[in-house]
A and B are shown apart, each in its own frame.
Chain A
Amino acid sequence: MTGATLIDKIWRGHVVIGEEGEPDLLYIDLHLIHEASSPQAFDGLRVAGRVVRRPDLTLAMEDHNVPTNTLELTEPSGREMVESLRRNCELHGIELFRLGDRRQGIVHVVAPEQGFVLPGMTVICGDSHTSTHGAFGALAFGVGTSDVEHVLATQTLPLPKPRSMRVEFMGDLPQGVTSKDLILALIAKIGANGANSHIIEYCGTAISRLSMEARMTMCNMTIEAGARAGLIAPDDTTFEYLSRTPHAPRGRAWERAVTAWRKLPSDRDDALFDNAVTFDASSLSPFVTWGTNPGQAAPIDGFVPDPSLFSDQREKSAAARSLEYMALEPGRPIASIEIDTVFIGSCTNGRIEDLRAAAEILKGRKVAESVTMIVVPGSMEVRRQAENENLHEVFLAAGAQWRLSGCSMCLGMNPDRLQGRKRCVSTSNRNYEARQGPQVMTHLASPAVAAASAITGCITAPATIAM
């Protein structure tokens, strides 16, 4: 018999009913909900006369539509969605971290920092970046509103088991290169559809040395490679992080849990994956996107590519389309592109480490005249922690805005959406056309690159800012 992967083990442990030729009925340990994808699901329950099966395994957050400069819901349409969530949570007895609550923030930042996501769990949310929680060795994936309704009603999902892919990163990340760069480089290599329908398990030295925050960044963006989910085996880094969270198990329960978690990693020699790739992480430099999907990225010391040199006809036309939208000419050095907006935040890079990395570069410096910079902590907890460390003083002194928590400029759904033909360096996860506003051009980058770019007003490698 061959060994089992981490994915196999979690999957097996959650099959309620498994019949040959049928999708497995998978039990869901944690269902995260937010105001943007749940109203129609609750409405479906109401119409069918159904109830929420496990309100105690459901946790709700207000994040996509909330403003970040006030605790008042200023936009009528956004307020309607949030109020609908409040009514639904009240009606069904679901825990909700409302705007103004000390624990409020982006769902994928809050759930882990509160200790609600544990190794070996299954987690779903009506949001594609649910893959974030894979950093804890949990199987976590995004679903649409119909599946949200299904989980509300049954706490299960019928799912065929996806194929697995092992991605190993050898070597150590060079100084100044972050997990954001690692994942952007990976997607650039395999493409925005390179892991279609797979669950990725990340491993290798570069991964095991990453902090939990950095691992969350990796797993968060796994969806941008077309994957269903991404996860990392739990280890001492995971346990250490969890032991500091308010809701992780305590005492005897903790010990029993850790014993179970230690058995989760893929069996070393004989676990079978459907696909495997290996990358060398030691020669990477910071990556920045130049196009309109996350796979269109290049090293910061590289150039905007020339579509006419692409051999693949479809890649050629895709690149030409992207460059037209992005108003970039082939051959231009990436590090010469002028920008006018910098956004630090989102469930990809809105955690305390990300704010520290940005503050480190901004310390004693000023944001360029031509640039508007906003810093949006991923949660109110992150905000408090940053203020304890006086990071907010650094941002404010540099001329950046220090905001409350929410999805903010990651997507054009709340009052932080950009207007006009702005060019933004963003630490978020999607550079799609118009993602941040109807005509906005987005360059994805790490917090360090974003901060360095804010100072100079054009895309800038952190290493070139004298420390």
Chain B
Amino acid sequence: MKPFVSLVGRGAVLRIDNVDTDQIIAAEDCKRLAKSGFADALFARWRAKPDFFLNRPEYAKASILIAGENFGTGSSREHAAWALRDWGFRAVFASSFGDIFRRNALKNGLLAIQLDGALLEWLRRLVEDNPELNISVLLKEKTIAVAGESIPFTVDDRARWLLLNGYDEIEVTLTKAAQIELYERAREEWLPTHLPSRPEPSNVVRVRP
């Protein structure tokens, strides 16, 4: 992965709290085997409404989604992060996130950035008044620079370190293989294990749809 150090872009304000992953991308649209190409599915149902924020011309060039509270709550589907990224978003600001979504987003280079509620509201007003405003996200400094102000944010430290260096997390963990093996030798022998058995055929099943 390429290191991710900073980003400059425009914001788009979505004034809905508790946006769940089923709204970001419906289950039906997750039935693809690829990891990209989900842009068309992003907020598909809500996008059918002409005044939905993604349809507004002033937000056409936005790369920062400015949301509310508990963004990305619900399902573990990583497709939600893929769809936002595929659409062109590189960061999401919220006052809180669904935990799994936050992890998923950061693993795909989509900065899930947590802002204090009052600061978030200030920023939302600012962008609503002036959608062309440039917002700089400085990952190293953990600050946002906008309209001459510098706002601190919270982001997962580990994800930040991986992003700043462009590291592959699995590769990092694989360097610890010796310690993992050591741990495995001490595991209780009664812990369950599974090895492939033959599928057990079912009896004749009665089906009455």
Partners in one complex: yes
User: Is the pair A27, B180 in contact by a Cβ cutoff of 8 Å?
Assistant: yes
User: Is the pair A94, B196 in contact by a Cβ cutoff of 8 Å?
Assistant: yes
Interface residues in B128-187 (C-beta closer than 8 Å to A) = 156-158, 168-170, 173-174, 176-177, 179-180, 183-184, 187
Interface pick from B3-11, B12-20, B58-66, B83-91: B12-20
Whether A158 contacts B76 in the complex (CB less than 8 A), given A43-B33, A43-B35, comes out as: no
User: Is the pair B76, A144 in contact by a Cβ cutoff of 8 Å?
Assistant: yes
User: Is the pair B199, A396 in contact by a Cβ cutoff of 8 Å?
Assistant: no
Whether A193 contacts B70 in the complex (CB less than 8 A), given A89-B196, A146-B78, A156-B173, comes out as: yes
Nearest A residue to B107 via CB reads A146
Q: Which B residues are CB-close (under 8 A) to A16? A: 176, 179-180, 183
User: Is the pair A158, B169 in contact by a Cβ cutoff of 8 Å?
Assistant: yes
A188 touches B (CB below 8 Å): no
Whether A102 contacts B208 in the complex (CB less than 8 A), given A81-B31, A93-B195, A434-B22, comes out as: no
Cα distance A257–B187 when bound, in Å? 12
Q: Which B residues are CB-close (under 8 A) to A89? A: 196
Residue from B32, B74, B197, B208 within 8 A of A432 (CB atoms): B74
B119 touches A (CB below 8 Å): no
**Distance (whole angstroms) from the CB of B28 to the closest CB of chain A:** 6
**Distance (whole angstroms) from the CB of A240 to the closest CB of chain B:** 18
User: Is the pair A401, B208 in contact by a Cβ cutoff of 8 Å?
Assistant: yes
A205 touches B (CB below 8 Å): no
User: Is the pair A314, B199 in contact by a Cβ cutoff of 8 Å?
Assistant: no
A142 touches B (CB below 8 Å): yes
The 6 closest A-B pairs by CB, nearest first: A144-B104, A144-B78, A69-B209, A413-B27, A193-B70, A253-B190
User: Is the pair B158, A193 in contact by a Cβ cutoff of 8 Å?
Assistant: no
User: Is the pair B107, A40 in contact by a Cβ cutoff of 8 Å?
Assistant: no
**Distance (whole angstroms) from the CB of B106 to the closest CB of chain A:** 9
Q: Please encode chain A, from 1 to 28, with 1 for each CB lying within 8 Å of some chain B CB and 0 for all others.
A: 0000000000000001100011101010
User: Is the pair A256, B34 in contact by a Cβ cutoff of 8 Å?
Assistant: no
A116 touches B (CB below 8 Å): yes
Q: Which B residues are CB-close (under 8 A) to A385? A: none
Q: Which A residues are CB-close (under 8 A) to B101? A: 144
Cα distance A89–B196 when bound, in Å? 9
Q: Please encode chain A, from 107 to 144, with 1 for each CB lying within 8 Å of some chain B CB and 0 for all others.
A: 00000000110100100001110000000000000111
Residue from A23, A104, A142, A226 within 8 A of B73 (CB atoms): A226
**Distance (whole angstroms) from the CB of A38 to the closest CB of chain B:** 10
Interface residues in A76-112 (C-beta closer than 8 Å to B) = 77-78, 80-81, 84, 89, 93-98, 100-104
Number of interface residues of A (CB under 8 A): 99
Q: Which B residues are CB-close (under 8 A) to A147? A: 103, 107
Q: Please encode chain A, from 21 to 59, with 1 for each CB lying within 8 Å of some chain B CB and 0 for all others.
A: 111010101100000110110011000101001011111
Interface of A with B (CB < 8 Å)?
16-17, 21-23, 25, 27, 29-30, 36-37, 39-40, 43-44, 48, 50, 53, 55-59, 64-65, 69-71, 77-78, 80-81, 84, 89, 93-98, 100-104, 115-116, 118, 121, 126-128, 142-147, 149-150, 153-156, 158, 160, 192-193, 196-197, 226, 228, 247, 249, 253-254, 256-257, 260, 293, 314, 318, 321, 380, 396, 401-404, 411-413, 417, 430, 432-435, 438
Cα distance A179–B179 when bound, in Å? 41
B55 touches A (CB below 8 Å): no
**Distance (whole angstroms) from the CB of A463 to the closest CB of chain B:** 30
B99 touches A (CB below 8 Å): yes
B26 touches A (CB below 8 Å): yes
Cα distance A172–B140 when bound, in Å? 52
Residue from A98, A142, A154, A432 within 8 A of B173 (CB atoms): A154
For the complex with contacts A17-B176, A43-B35, A116-B194, 4 further pairs of A-B residues with Cβ separation under 8 Å are A36-B77, A78-B31, A144-B78, A434-B22
Q: Which A residues are CB-close (under 8 A) to B39? A: none
User: Is the pair A411, B27 in contact by a Cβ cutoff of 8 Å?
Assistant: yes
User: Is the pair A144, B31 in contact by a Cβ cutoff of 8 Å?
Assistant: no
Cα distance A435–B28 when bound, in Å? 10
Cα distance A380–B203 when bound, in Å? 10
Q: Which B residues are CB-close (under 8 A) to A102? A: 200-203
User: Is the pair A156, B180 in contact by a Cβ cutoff of 8 Å?
Assistant: yes
User: Is the pair A257, B31 in contact by a Cβ cutoff of 8 Å?
Assistant: no
**Distance (whole angstroms) from the CB of A69 to the closest CB of chain B:** 4
Nearest A residue to B205 via CB reads A404
Q: Which B residues are CB-close (under 8 A) to A115? A: 192
User: Is the pair A432, B23 in contact by a Cβ cutoff of 8 Å?
Assistant: yes
User: Is the pair B17, A318 in contact by a Cβ cutoff of 8 Å?
Assistant: yes
User: Is the pair A160, B16 in contact by a Cβ cutoff of 8 Å?
Assistant: no
User: Is the pair A318, B18 in contact by a Cβ cutoff of 8 Å?
Assistant: yes
Whether A413 contacts B30 in the complex (CB less than 8 A), given A17-B176, A156-B180, A432-B23, comes out as: yes
Can you list 16 residue pairs at the A/B interface with Cβ under 8 Å?
Answer: A16-B179, A23-B158, A27-B184, A40-B33, A43-B33, A55-B196, A65-B31, A97-B199, A118-B192, A146-B169, A150-B170, A160-B158, A226-B99, A228-B99, A380-B202, A402-B208
Cα distance A69–B46 when bound, in Å? 32
Nearest B residue to A314 via CB reads B17
Cα distance A392–B205 when bound, in Å? 12
Whether A155 contacts B180 in the complex (CB less than 8 A), given A118-B191, A226-B73, A314-B68, comes out as: yes
Q: Which B residues are CB-close (under 8 A) to A402? A: 206, 208
Cα distance A290–B144 when bound, in Å? 39
Q: Which A residues are CB-close (under 8 A) to B104? A: 144-146
B207 touches A (CB below 8 Å): yes
Nearest A residue to B162 via CB reads A158
**Distance (whole angstroms) from the CB of A421 to the closest CB of chain B:** 13
Cα distance A247–B193 when bound, in Å? 9
Q: Which A residues are CB-close (under 8 A) to B74? A: 128, 430, 432
